[in-house]
């Protein structure tokens, strides 16, 4: 039983669809050579990304994201045209067209943005969480990361200090089974990443990261726990990236059978089926959500194409050290 209303569940699905259509458009543009730089897509990870983002957004909390943070950014309500503008190197893009795919952010909705440094989110999240305590804002921080970051010093030092200082932070790891081409079992001797919570005396849970409603409920509870003064919470969301790691990835490290098996667990398909089975939406309503999400992306692309090209003479704006 979800704590979300029917309308909120529809909105959750709609945001997941928007994220999927947005990324499929980026994939197409990237293949045609229409994008600058690289691009990390989260196709297949929409339940964990959008579900967790919605929990933070509903509670007025803050988030910090990895290089694969489009799903969360869209889930927290960012304007698609500003994101598309960023991808196209436009002045009105969220980072003035300077950052691209790995530098989405949206302060208005509490999204402090992506970082390209694997494991970089942990210490920043601790600093953000300490600020919330110091300033008594009553907010918590959703710290997103991937399985590839959990053997960095940042992970261990940050979990330790967050535990000792009882910081209001939820460490949310999307375990998509690979760090680039490296399978998670090659780099870790524990089965569940959430077992690592024990070493720091904090609660840890492994959840179905392709079940958007479960992700939303657990992340909401974890954020509430963190804000109650109990300290940090670790969540491992099991999911799968259906696309390649980035622009150039022939995916020879995994079998087509494995990809096909995970496609059967597609998070958008699963939520749509749940909604039909529980009479939360009709086929026609689901189709309408699909169509709207598709149109939104095209409108955003048109708007972004009309934006100004980032100006070369502004290139040293925001550069604070040489």
Q: Give the footprint of ligand TPP on this chain (CB under 6 A).
A: 67-68, 116-119, 146-149, 176, 178-180, 245
- How many alpha carbons lie under 13 Å from residue 116 in its C-beta half-sphere? 10
Q: How far apart are CA 119 and CA 148, in angstroms?
A: 8
CB of 38 to Mg ion, least distance (A): 16
Nearest to Mg ion of 97, 148 (CB atom): 148
Using CB under 5 A as the binding rule, whether residue 236 contacts Mg ion is answered as no
Nearest to ligand TPP of 147, 296 (CB atom): 147
Nearest to Mg ion of 15, 176 (CB atom): 176
Using alpha carbons, select from 130, 124, 148 the residue that is nearest to residue 40: 148
Nearest to ligand TPP of 85, 148 (CB atom): 148
* Binding-site partner at residue 121 among Mg ion, ligand TPP, none, CB < 5 to 8 Å by type: none
Q: How far apart are CA 26 and CA 20, in angstroms?
A: 10
CB of 145 to ligand TPP, least distance (A): 6
Q: Which of 176, 194, 242, 272 is the binder for Mg ion (CB under 5 A)?
A: 176
CB of 149 to Mg ion, least distance (A): 8
Nearest to ligand TPP of 68, 109 (CB atom): 68
Six token digits for residue 155: 């992970």
* Binding-site partner at residue 117 among Mg ion, ligand TPP, none, CB < 5 to 8 Å by type: ligand TPP
Helices (H), the chain: 6-31, 46-58, 70-75, 80-87, 121-134, 153-164, 212-225, 256-263, 267-277, 283-305
Distances (CA, A) of 39 to 36, 103, 113, 245: 9, 10, 15, 9
Distances (CA, A) of 89 to 122, 155, 304, 312: 28, 32, 9, 11
Q: Chain centroid to CA 280: how far?
A: 26
Using CB under 5 A as the binding rule, whether residue 146 contacts Mg ion is answered as yes
Bridge partners of residue 170, in order along the sequence: 142, 233
Q: Which of 46, 61, 147, 236 is the binder for Mg ion (CB under 5 A)?
A: 147
* Binding-site partner at residue 21 among ligand TPP, Mg ion, none, CB < 5 to 8 Å by type: none
Nearest to ligand TPP of 146, 231 (CB atom): 146
| Position closest to Mg ion via CB | 146
CB of 173 to ligand TPP, least distance (A): 8
Q: How far apart are CA 54 and CA 72, in angstroms?
A: 8
* Binding-site partner at residue 110 among ligand TPP, Mg ion, none, CB < 5 to 8 Å by type: none
The torsion of the CA quartet 104, 182, 216, 95, rounded to 10 degrees, works out to 0
| Position closest to ligand TPP via CB | 146
CB of 75 to ligand TPP, least distance (A): 16
* Binding-site partner at residue 118 among ligand TPP, Mg ion, none, CB < 5 to 8 Å by type: ligand TPP
Q: Report the DSSP pairing between strands 141-146 and 178-179.
A: unpaired
Q: Report the DSSP pairing between strands 233-238 and 204-208.
A: parallel
Using CB under 5 A as the criterion, which residues of the chain lie in contact with Mg ion when the complex forms? Answer: 146-148, 176, 179
């Amino acid at each position: 039983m979800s704590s979300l209303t029917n309308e909120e569940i529809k909105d959750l699905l709609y945001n997941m669809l928007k994220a999927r259509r947005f990324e499929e458009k980026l994939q197409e543009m990237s293949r045609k050579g229409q994008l600058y730089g690289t691009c990390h897509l989260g196709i297949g990870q929409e339940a964990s990304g959008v579900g967790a983002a919605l929990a933070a957004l509903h509670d007025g909390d803050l988030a910090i994201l990895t290089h694969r943070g489009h799903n969360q950014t869209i889930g927290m309500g960012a304007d698609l045209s500003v994101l598309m503008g960023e991808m196209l190197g436009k002045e009105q893009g969220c980072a003035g067209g300077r950052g691209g795919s790995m530098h989405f952010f949206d302060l208005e909705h509490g999204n402090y943005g992506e970082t390209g440094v694997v494991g970089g989110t942990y210490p920043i999240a601790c600093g953000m969480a300490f600020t919330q305590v110091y300033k008594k804002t009553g907010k918590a921080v959703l710290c997103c990361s991937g399985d590839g970051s959990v053997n960095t010093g940042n992970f261990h030092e940050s979990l330790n200090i967050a535990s000792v200082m009882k910081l209001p932070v939820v460490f949310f790891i999307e375990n998509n089974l690979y760090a680039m081409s490296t399978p998670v079992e090659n780099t870790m001797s524990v089965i569940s990443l959430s077992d690592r919570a024990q070493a720091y005396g904090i609660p840890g849970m492994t959840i179905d990261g392709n079940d958007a409603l479960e992700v939303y409920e657990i992340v909401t509870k974890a954020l509430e726990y963190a804000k109650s003064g109990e300290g940090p919470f670790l969540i491992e969301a099991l999911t799968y990236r259906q696309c390649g790691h980035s622009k150039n990835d022939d995916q020879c490290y995994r079998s087509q059978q494995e990809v096909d098996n995970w496609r059967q667990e597609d998070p958008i398909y699963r939520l749509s089926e749940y909604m039909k089975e529980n009479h939360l939406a009709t086929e026609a309503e689901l189709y309408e959500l699909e169509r709207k999400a598709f149109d939104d992306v095209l409108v955003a692309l048109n708007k972004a194409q009309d934006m100004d090209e980032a100006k070369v003479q502004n290139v040293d704006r925001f550069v604070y050290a040489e």
